[in-house]
Each structure stands twice: as structure tokens, then as C-alpha cells.
Amino acid sequence: MTQDELFKVLVAHCKEYGFIFPSSEIYDGLAAVYDYGQMGVELKNNIKSYWWNAMTRLNENIVGIDSCIFMHPRIWEASGHVSAFNDPLIDNKDSKKRYRADVLIEDYLGKLEEKVNKEVEKGRRKFGESFDEAQFRATNPNVLREQAKYDQVHERYVKAEKAGDFAEYRQIIIDCNIVCPISGTCNWTDVRQFNLMFSTSMGSTSEGANIIYLRPETAQGIFVNYLNVQKTGRMKIPFGIAQIGKAFRNEIVARQFIFRMREFEQMEMQFFIKPGTELEWFAKWKEQRMKWHVNLGMGAENYRFHDHEKLAHYANAATDIEFQFPFGFKELEGIHSRTNFDLGNHQKFSGKKIQYFDNETNESYTPYVIETSIGVDRTVLAVLSHSFHEEKLENGETRVVLSIPPALAPVKAAVLPLVKKDGLPEVAQKIMNDLKYDFNCQYEDKDSIGKRYRRQDAIGTPFCITIDHETLNDNCVTVRDRDTMQQERVPIAELHDLIDKRVNLNNLLRNL
Ligand code: ATP
């Protein structure tokens, strides 16, 4: 199966098993908006707990807040979103489809990079142990040709990006013969700017309605509460404020399932520091955040940093943590050193003094900020796409399994009486009642045990507990492991500890 096909199968699986549904489906859906079903919401909540606890419990100097989606419209002027939160749009005149010009160029560059990497891998296979990658890259004619193409386009792109030169974006697209995937033509309009914020009005027109925006990021809710939290929490710099919440962007390119949505959720933490210490803290948070990801056990090789070449005018360092999605390495989280841009601007626009008084040095300053910003939905997609497998079994059958990290799995254990009689359901109910306070469990008594195992594999349940006639004599049950499919006999009294060891979120947190 190609990665493309696999992705389609995954999307269908997410719907079939209650993870993710297209929004408003009975009305034919709403583009780039998705709802989480009964399984999806559990997975999402577990991801949020992992992040929230890692931030607010493991760091004594980080606290959380929950600010509103609606905020004073001046906030978005101060933050620069009204004037600069734009995407460069381009339309194909034949298909009438709209694209982001920067994404078209970046995808093209990604393909060139892939070509180079494929050549290098070929070389590695050919030369085996004696392979010298640096020498190969410097001498292989195929690599040199593709790399030169890449470098040339990349240089033009970075220059155009820095200068905000959209005519040059269009020229790059034309010169590289980047075609519309629908029409296959290179018949493009000019590139135009498009603001991504959704607006609505607050109050009735008679009392003079105000235009307000649905927040495009949660961060500003943190900045405007900086003084409240610092004062009431008696926080000393360095300290952080964390928040999880919805954000809205009128994305033009609505593709790739929950990777790019118009309504999505972010987990953001702003870390307030003394000016001059930002690069040190930036490095610390880079390391810390990568550790958080890798700790999930989905393979360190599936993550990489992508340092920004073009920095926003207020930033002095920025990087993305990218994950290897089925459609390539793409941004999962952003880490930015934002200087005092946000607090400074809010001070200017609101007229309120936003300063920190340092008791030790007797000086006041506007704190600098390191931001870590991760998408909940992209993390859900990373987990689902990495966990989804179709396996061929020894008996020739196939099984679909979601090997979700156990601490994130929506259901931790399924309790399955072998038959619906002979007192087995009663024992199963008792086990259920014992476990349900600590673990999300599912009780299932329909269909053959084999079918029930398959259903639990498909939603990623780490343990299946089967109660059979023997249980009535020996007080033991059969526990089946999702990943190995091994079965073992376990005393009912030991069930809790066995499950807890594998699925307890605190064990993940302890490794951080
Ligand atoms: P991209 O370049 O992919 O549009 P971005 O750089 O605009 O992303 P940020 O503004 O840094 O993203 O937002 C922080 C995080 O929020 C991203 O790393 C991503 O995980 C998430 N995010 C941003 N936009 C979306 C979206 N439209 N749908 C889902 N998640 C998103």
C-alpha cells in the first residue's frame, strides 16, 4: 500500500471506529472541520493530560489558565494579526482551485529533497559498510544535479519570503513548472494576501456592534493575563503560563484531514524570562519538548527539528518540531523566542504598564518570552498514523491494530465474559466495577471472543480480559496483550497492578 492509500484507509478507520467524523456529515460536511467521536475524545483528552501535567505538575514555576475565545479587538491589532496574519493565495485559472503559493513551493522543494535522499539511500545500500555519505553527496552526479536545483529554488524562495515579494513567488512557481494537481496546468493568477482570522460581531447593531475575532491562537489570552497571574500567583521570573484551547483560522488549503483544520485546538506555554537569557532558555525548551515527544515511544527517528531561516521581525530564534506523517515530515510544534514583542505591544496599545520588578537587581523590565506551541489535533494525527497497522497473521488472516502508546489509549482494558450465562457476566461485572474508577474499561459480551479481540485491536485497547468457566474455580482470567497477542492466566486480584504498570500516565511523566 502506498502512503497515500494508507492515509485514506486510516481516515476511513477513524470514522468507522468512532475516532473522528466529518463535521455536519448529514448535511454533506463542512470543509476542514471535524468532530471527535467516542474514541477520539478519549485519545485527545489523554494527550491533553500528558501535556498539561508535564507542564503544570512537573514544573513548579508553570501554572495554567483558561482564557476566553472572544477578546477585545485591539488585542489583535497589538499582536499584529490584523495587519500581518496573512497567507499568500494563488488560483489556478483552469481548475479554479485555490492554493497557498508558499505551500506549493515548499512541497516542490520537499520533493527535490526526497529525490536527493533516495539517491543517498541507494548509495548506502550499494556500498554497504564502506559508504561515506559526505563524499557521496559531494560527488554523485544525480545528487549534485538535484541538490543544485534545490539550492537555486530555495535561495530564490528565502529571498522572496524575506522581502514579501509575491510576484517572485509566482515567478518561481512558473519557472519550476509547478502545476495544479487538478487541472495539470501552470495557468496561475497573481499571488494575493488573505487574512486568516474569522470575524463576527458582538452586541446588537442598535447599540453599535463591534467586530470581534475568533482567536487564531491561544497565546494572546496568556499575554493579556500576564499581570493577573504574576501578581495573584506571586510568580517570580522565570515562570510560565500554560493554556489549552480552541483556535480558529480560515485556512485556504484545507487538506490532509485533521492536519489543517479551520477550528482546532492548541496547547501553548509562554515562558517569561529576563532579557538576555532567551537563547539559553530557547535551547532548554527545545530539548525539553523533544523529550516529551520521543518519550511517547513512537521512534526518535520520526521527529526532527526544522530551524527557521526567516524569522518574524520580533523573534530572535525559532524552530519547528516536525513529525514524519504519511505525507512527509511536517510541523507538529513550534518553539519561538519572541523577545518582548507581545508584552511590549500590549503595554503600548492598552496604556497599562506591563513590567516585572526584579527584587534582586532592583530593576524593572518587560519580560522576554519563549513560546512552545503544539497542535492537539496534529498530535492525535501523529499518534493515529504511527499506530495504525494491518498485520498478516500466521493463520493467514489479517488484523487491523492501533498500537497507540498505552497511556494514551482510549480504552485501557476490555472485560469480556466468554458466554452470557453460567454466572460469567456477574464475575465480569464485578471486575468492571473494580477497575472502572482507575481505568476507562469497556464491557462487551456480544459475538465470538475472536471478533471481540479484533474490535478491541482496532481501537487500540492494550488489554483484553476474558472470564471463562475456569474463572469460577480458580479466580483467574485470561489477559491478552494487544501488541504480542500473547495470553496469560492472571489472578483477578493482580489485574489492577498489571494494567496500571502499562497504562498509568504517571509512568510516562516520570521518564521526563
Ligand atoms: P503551518 O505552517 O502548518 O500553517 P503555523 O506555523 O502557522 O503552522 P503556529 O502558528 O506556529 O502554526 O501554530 C502552532 C501549532 O498549532 C502548529 O505547530 C500546529 O500543530 C497547530 N496548528 C496551526 N494551524 C493549525 C491548523 N489549521 N489545524 C490544526 N493545527 C494547527
CA 375 – ligand 1 centroid, Å: 6
Cα–Cα distance between 13 and 3 in angstroms, integer? 15
pLDDT (0 to 100) of residue 207: 62
- With beta carbons less than 8 A apart as the criterion, state whether 223 and 343 touch: yes
Task: Extract the runs of DSSP E, i.e. beta strands, from 210-316.
Answer: 210-213, 239-248, 263-273, 303-307
Please state, for a pLDDT cut of 70, what percent of the chain lies above it.
99
If pLDDT is split at 50, 70 and 90, which confidence band does 28 have? very high
Cα separation values, 277 from 274, 337, 364, Å: 6, 10, 15
**Number of residues that this document lists for the chain:** 512
* Common-topology check for domains 86-193 and 393-510: no
CA 230 – ligand 1 centroid, Å: 28
Whose Cα sits closest to atom 11 in ligand 1?
A: 334
Tell me which residue has cell 495573584.
Answer: 232
Strand 210-213 relative to strand 463-467: parallel, antiparallel, unpaired? unpaired
Q: How far is CA 78 from the centre of its chain?
A: 27
Tell me which residue has cell 464485578.
Answer: 430
Whether 264 is in the pocket of ligand 1, judged by its Cβ within 6 Å, is yes
pLDDT (0 to 100) of residue 205: 62
- With beta carbons less than 8 A apart as the criterion, state whether 478 and 437 touch: no
Whose Cα sits closest to atom 19 in ligand 1?
A: 375
Cα–Cα distance between 42 and 19 in angstroms, integer? 9
Tell me the CATH number for domain 86-193: 3.30.40.230
In the sheet that holds 86-91, the strands lie side by side as 98-100, 86-91, 192-195
Question: Per-residue pLDDT tens for 330-355?
Answer: 999 999 999 999 999 999 999 999 99
pLDDT (0 to 100) of residue 489: 97
If pLDDT is split at 50, 70 and 90, which confidence band does 84 have? confident
Mean pLDDT taken over the chain? 94
Q: Which CATH number fits domain 393-510: 3.40.50.620, 3.40.50.1580, 3.40.50.10420, 3.40.50.800?
A: 3.40.50.800
3-state helix, strand, coil in the chain (%, to 5): 45, 25, 30
At residue 114, does pLDDT exceed 80?
yes
Domain 1-74+196-392, what fold? BirA Bifunctional Protein; domain 2 (3.30.930)
Cα separation values, 305 from 297, 327, 404, 485, Å: 17, 17, 23, 35
Q: Which of 228, 256, 227, 222 is nearest to 241 (CA)?
A: 222
C-alpha cell at 151: 539550492
pLDDT (0 to 100) of residue 187: 96
pLDDT (0 to 100) of residue 83: 87
Cα–Cα distance between 402 and 302 in angstroms, integer? 17
Mutate to test the pocket of ligand 1, among 314, 373, 379 (most ligand atoms within 8 A of CB): 373
Question: Per-residue pLDDT tens for 416-446?
Answer: 999 999 999 999 999 999 999 999 999 999 9
Tell me which residue has cell 501535556.
Answer: 51
Q: How far is CA 138 from the centre of its chain?
A: 36
Cα–Cα distance between 354 and 221 in angstroms, integer? 15
Bridge partners (DSSP) listed for residue 364: 357
Q: Is the dihedral of CA 85, 91, 97, 100 positive or negative?
A: negative
The DSSP call for residue 298 is S
In this prediction, residues 73-97 reach a mean pLDDT of 92
pLDDT (0 to 100) of residue 492: 98
- What are the domain boundaries of the chain? 1-74+196-392, 86-193, 393-510
pLDDT (0 to 100) of residue 21: 97
C-alpha cell at 396: 493467514
Q: How far is CA 25 from the centre of its chain?
A: 24
Mutate to test the pocket of ligand 1, among 264, 293, 305 (most ligand atoms within 8 A of CB): 264
Bridge partners (DSSP) listed for residue 422: none
Peptide bond into 73 cis (omega under 30): no
At residue 309, does pLDDT exceed 80?
no
At residue 382, does pLDDT exceed 90?
yes
Whether 67 is in the pocket of ligand 1, judged by its Cβ within 6 Å, is no
Cα–Cα distance between 193 and 188 in angstroms, integer? 15
Q: What are phi and psi of 64, to 5 degrees?
A: -110, 160
CA 303 – ligand 1 centroid, Å: 16
For the chain, the first-to-last Cα distance in angstroms comes to 36
Whether 333 is in the pocket of ligand 1, judged by its Cβ within 6 Å, is yes
pLDDT (0 to 100) of residue 208: 62
Residue 391: how many CB atoms within 10 A of its CB? Answer: 12
Whether 334 is in the pocket of ligand 1, judged by its Cβ within 6 Å, is yes
How much is the CA Rg of the chain, to the nearest whole Å? 26
C-alpha cell at 153: 529554488
CA 260 – ligand 1 centroid, Å: 7
